Structure 1
Amino acid sequence: MRPLDPRLLRYASAARWFLAGTALVSLVQTFAIIAFAWLLSQAITGAVEGRPLADLAGGIGTLAAVIVLRAVLIWLQELLAQRAAAIVKTQLRSQVLDAVARRGPDWLAGRQSAQVSTVVTTGLDALDNYFSRYLPQLLLTAIATPILVLVMLIQDVPSGITVIVALPLIPVFMILIGLATRGVQKAQWESLQHLSNGFLDLVGGLGTLKIFGRENRQTGRLRAITEDYRQRTMAVLKVSFLSGFVLELAASLSVALVAVGVGLRLVDGSLLLGVGLFVLLLAPEVFLPVRQVGAQFHAAADGLAAAEEVFAILEETSGGDAGRAFDPTSVRTSGRMAGHTAGHTLGRIAADASSFDRATDATLCFDDVTIHRGETPIVHRFTAEFRPGDFSVVTGPSGAGKSTLIAALQGFIDYDGMITLGGALIATDSPRDWLAWSGQRPGLFAGTIAENVTLGETSVNDAALRSALADAGAADLDPATMLAVAGEGLSGGQAQRVSVARAFYRARVRDCAVVVLDEPSSALDAAAETALIRGLQALAAEGRIVIVISHRPALCAEAQQVVRIQVPAHV
């Protein structure tokens, strides 16, 4: 675990100006420390020598100003730290969420969603301590300590040498403590993630557990996980307290060595009182930043651990995106497209599909699309055309890759071949403003039905809202109805219709050319399915491409085009 990870500066621009501002404040703070020690030693020396108060008033006034300056600098440092931490957390969270959205559910399915959630919430919140406590002390140590040691050497060579000999002991102790802390801190972080995952699994499966009467048996499991996290947290606190004691002891003994040497030389008259006081006042300030770095290391460890996981996610997703399927500025063909010449391929690309005009021929074409999961082909050389105004159904056995094809259309997974819209290549990372989609899971949240249907829109078109609900077969649902978490309060069929209405609403408000629904009628009865079919036909009649993934005979019977896809044989 590095004290300052260079990746933090790369991914969070706010960290760079924070470091510059903190370095400047630390430099001014260093000179304020020197001025404070010098002015105080001169004031004490003058009082001992019996100088009148009028002669000392100027120095005392300057000393008071320096004290105020130090207080202002400490306040300014806190202000910089708090603002920088807030901005850095926002930047890192935004990049992680963008990366997760870019990679899509196929990437997220290989990870524990609770772990990702913990990293971007509780984990990154711990960066507050890193910025407000640890990093300022680290910079102050790097800037103030050499300057203060140099001043002590100039004023009193023996005291300076004593400090130079004793000072390295503290970093040695810090390294040893850091090695011990790293293990217990990592164990605590893993325990927290285990607790988050366990709790999420319990909440997600609570309905099933309740049905089978097993909900109480999970109490012991959750208690054991919580107890493990408590013990590991106490282990971290124990190491923190012990390390703080060791650092304080080492620093105190070092200052004591300087004080003994100064005292002996003051007694034999080889050292002036003013110089001795000045050196004694500086000695604790030399060791203070180093001690604080060690003490605050533990407060910052959680944030650093979370930041490392954030960097791992960002580097993994950026590395994965580098080889994504297609980019309009750089066309890559796979070995399975060897039959296409470069001129033919480039001729298919009119423009990036994110900027096409729906008034043109916006035919959606899959051309030799192959999708692998590892070495196994999920979809092999799929070719099909979907025309505007057509209501099409893609059907086939489970495992044939129907939903995988849609994920490729959404830009969530890699593929070989080409997908074009209106003759324009669909770049993997381009916006999908032309696409409205409803998946197998409704994906509802706490709020009104209207808020769920108009998800992502800044304003609500009431007419489009009611039309979307009606075409989805949900005209009987009141848009003002309040739903609980995950859309609780609706039946499975009602939730599915609200999800479909969301796609209908987006298609009309955003004028989307393509509407894709994945198993939209799996939880519907015959009457609701009939109403949905009428809505799909009305949507297609508006000149849109409507694609439905389904096994239902009623949908296949009403479709203008039925595309059947089979499980690929071993290739």
Structure 2
Amino acid sequence: MRRFLLAMVGCGVVISGCAIGSAIVLAHIVSQVITEPSTRSVGHWSPLLATLALLWAVRTLAHWLQARLGQRGATTVIAELSGRVLGAVTARSPGQLATERDAAATVVTRGLDGLRPYFTAYLPALVLAVVLTPVTVLVIAGYDRQAAVLVVITLPLIPVFMVLIGLATADRSTAALSAMTTLQARLLDLIAGIPTLRALGRADGPQQRIAELSDAQRRSTMATLRIAFLSSLVLELLATLSVAVVAVSIGLRLVFGEMSLTAGLTVLLLLPDVYWPLRRIGVEFHAAEEGRAAAEQAFALIGEPAAPTGDRTVTARGAAIHLDQLRVAGRDGDAPAGLTARIEPGQVTVLTGVNGAGKSTTLAALAGLAAPTSGQVTVAGVSVTALDLPAWWAQLSWLPQRPALVPGTVADNLALFGELTDFGAASAAAGFEEVLAELPDGLQTQLGRGGVGLSLGQRQRLGLARTLGSAAPVLLLDEPTAHLDAATEQRVLRALVTRARSGATIVVVGHRPAVLAIGDQVITVRSERPAPCAHC
């Protein structure tokens, strides 16, 4: 924004010069016309009238240019901040992403748009207040020192009241953004769950809660608007009274012949330009405060610069993976807690344990998506935290509990992580051929957000076909046979065993006896919960 700000400052200087110059020229013309009847012909004042028209035209052009620069700067900053928020949030671990998703969605989709009034209205008013107000006071002092003293006395009243009102507005704007975030998150969750709620006959259940959140957001917005209108009234009243005090002083001295008409008119014409920028700051501050609150939340989401990933690379094929006292802290303690194991290539390793023991977290640690609290995961003697993660991910094929599906065609989702080497065999093993036969447009069938258009079992088979069709030497699968019938489950398990015998490293999370039966080694994952507080 620096170059935009410098350009806006330049425009502010031009606007200030034109405002002061036009006031001086206009006051000179009017005073001479009143005091000297012989000069009332238009031809006599043609040069000064042309100068006045030129000053007004340049001032109008500078205002237009300043507004245009503000729009361009706002668009640039909003786009950059949105991209940085998306990049920072999507780089988080899956657990962090789940907690920050709603706040990031609100900031990116709606919140940062509030920065536009900040750049297009508030900053130009601030520039004019910094440039036009002090220069105008100095010019007034050159014509009438007494009027300048009155201006200096009354001028600080406006910033004082602006600060007092602004402090209350900032809290209200933060509360309004928080209410909007909660409401938007609830609405998104409701929209995503409407099919399930309708199937269970509970589609009207969240109605009261959504209405309560809407009322809370409405009350917060109206409270902010009340403060904004009140502050505008106070600022206008202060500016009007300040101008009136100076105008009365000038009028009395004109009556008693203590100052010339030219000086009096010049000061009167310059007075609005002293208070107007400060009034504009107060008015535009409220319009820009929502964007400022969103920007602060955006910076909080961006946070500290992410620690750089390592630059080590390894060849995953044929390499053993070691888990050495692996611990990952969670909400309910360490899960896993002190997990030590050796995962050999060419074997199927099954991770089992009670719910919440940390099985899925162990897979995330293997993939480099979850940082160990203590202990480490090493591949061919190199810690995963020291690896070049993109190069490591290129050698992985990961199937989470909910396969990642994006809006688009079935073919787009199959190729989401790269082209498949043997889609026919993988599709047959996962039972996805049957799914394709049922789809109206086959591979070109359009899917909605999260795989809308497919049942849970069909989504699982799509994810399995994508995972099994990958040529990656390491396969990480979290509950791969969930939502599958017994026959399809057996085909998938046989495909995993065949893949392991070809030299791949297979790590599976599972509970079912059929899954445990294919394991060359079965590792029980345990968590460690903190002892309950005796005084709680």
Please give the range of the TM-score, normalised by the shorter of the 2 chains. Answer: 0.7 to 0.9
Query: Cα offset for 1:521?
Result: 1.3
Instruction: Select the residue among 489, 498, 505 that pairs with 1:545.
Output: 505
The aligned counterpart of 1:365 is: 322
Is the contact between residue 453 and residue 465 of structure 1 (CA under 8 Å) also seen in structure 2? Answer: no
The verdict on how the C-alpha distance between 1:287 and 1:465 changes in structure 2, with shifts beyond 3 A counting, is farther
Distance of 2:55 and 2:320 partners within structure 1: 74
Is the contact between residue 314 and residue 380 of structure 2 (CA under 8 Å) also seen in structure 1? Answer: yes
Instruction: Select the residue among 47, 55, 59 that pairs with 2:48.
Output: 59
The verdict on how the C-alpha distance between 1:212 and 1:481 changes in structure 2, with shifts beyond 3 A counting, is closer
Aligned-partner residue type, residue 375 of structure 2 = G
Instruction: Select the residue among 27, 30, 43 that pairs with 1:41.
Output: 27
The aligned counterpart of 1:279 is: 267
The aligned counterpart of 2:84 is: 95
Q: How big is each residue's C-alpha offset from its partner over 1:348-395, in whole Å with a ceiling of 9 and x where there is no partner? A: xxxx34x44567x54433333222236832223323344455444333
- If the length of structure 2 is used for normalisation, what is the TM-score? 0.86
Instruction: Select the residue among 176, 196, 202 that pairs with 1:188.
Output: 176
How many residue pairs get matched?
A: 517
The aligned counterpart of 1:291 is: 279
Is residue 23 from structure 1 mapped to residue 9 from structure 2 by the alignment? Answer: yes
Query: Cα offset for 1:47?
Result: 4.2
Is residue 485 from structure 1 mapped to residue 449 from structure 2 by the alignment? Answer: yes
Is the contact between residue 112 and residue 197 of structure 1 (CA under 8 Å) also seen in structure 2? Answer: no
Distance of 2:324 and 2:420 partners within structure 1: 39
Query: Cα offset for 1:524?
Result: 1.0
SS of aligned partner of 2:240? helix
Is the contact between residue 159 and residue 261 of structure 1 (CA under 8 Å) also seen in structure 2? Answer: yes
Where do residues 17-416 of structure 1 align in structure 2 (5 Å cutoff)?
A: 17-48=3-34, 49=36, 50-51=38-39, 52-109=41-98, 111=99, 113-315=101-303, 318=305, 328=310, 352-353=311-312, 355-357=313-315, 361-373=318-330, 376-415=333-372, 416=374
Farther-moved stretch of structure 1 (364-373 vs 532-541): 532-541
Query: Cα offset for 1:289?
Result: 0.8
SS of aligned partner of 2:328? strand
Instruction: Select the residue among 422, 426, 433 that pairs with 1:475.
Output: 433
Distance of 1:414 and 1:405 partners within structure 2: 10
Is the contact between residue 365 and residue 421 of structure 1 (CA under 8 Å) also seen in structure 2? Answer: yes
The aligned counterpart of 1:526 is: 486
Query: Cα offset for 1:405?
Result: 0.9
The aligned counterpart of 2:534 is: none
Is the contact between residue 85 and residue 104 of structure 2 (CA under 8 Å) also seen in structure 1? Answer: no
Is the contact between residue 45 and residue 273 of structure 1 (CA under 8 Å) also seen in structure 2? Answer: yes
SS of aligned partner of 1:103? coil
SS of aligned partner of 1:290? helix
SS of aligned partner of 1:380? coil
The verdict on how the C-alpha distance between 1:145 and 1:445 changes in structure 2, with shifts beyond 3 A counting, is same
Distance of 2:424 and 2:15 partners within structure 1: 64
Is the contact between residue 78 and residue 112 of structure 2 (CA under 8 Å) also seen in structure 1? Answer: yes
Q: How big is each residue's C-alpha offset from its partner over 1:501-539, in whole Å with a ceiling of 9 and x where there is no partner? A: 34456x44xxx4433221121111123223433544565
Aligned-partner residue type, residue 481 of structure 1 = T
Identical-pair percentage: 39
Distance of 2:178 and 2:489 partners within structure 1: 47
Q: Give ranges in structure 1 of 5+ residues lacking alignment.
A: 1-13, 329-351
Aligned-partner residue type, residue 335 of structure 2 = I
Distance of 1:166 and 1:282 partners within structure 2: 15
Distance of 1:197 and 1:523 partners within structure 2: 28
Q: How big is each residue's C-alpha offset from its partner over 1:390-429, in whole Å with a ceiling of 9 and x where there is no partner? A: 4443333333211111222333333122223344332378
Aligned-partner residue type, residue 379 of structure 1 = P
SS of aligned partner of 2:371? coil
The verdict on how the C-alpha distance between 1:539 and 1:271 changes in structure 2, with shifts beyond 3 A counting, is farther
The verdict on how the C-alpha distance between 1:433 and 1:138 changes in structure 2, with shifts beyond 3 A counting, is farther
